[in-house]
Amino acid sequence: MSSTSIQFYGIVESICAGRIIVLLQEEVKTKTKVKENTRIAASLSGRIKNNKIRITIGDKVRLNVNSDNLQKGIIVFREK
């Protein structure tokens, strides 16, 4: 059984001990439907860690979420 990843967009709400809480947003481009006030605990991807990209509260981010566990994700891109 292979699990696929789903891409979401959101805004960083809080940062605590390496875990980043992201508030998800509906995205018009990808047509993802999100329940209101949905939050995901996310961690940084290896590329973001290696390039020392800083994530702060209020940043818009793109994250991948495993279809098996929709409560944990990996931040893969910080929007400008």
pLDDT in tens, 1-13: 557 888 888 899 9
Class of domain 5-78: mainly beta
pLDDT of residue 70: 83
Residues 6+ apart with CB under 8 A from 43: 18, 19, 20, 72, 73, 74, 75
Residue 61 contacts residue 22 (beta carbons within 8 Å)? yes
Mean pLDDT, range 58-69, rounded to an integer: 90
pLDDT band at 36 (very low <50, low <70, confident <90, very high): confident
pLDDT band at 27 (very low <50, low <70, confident <90, very high): low
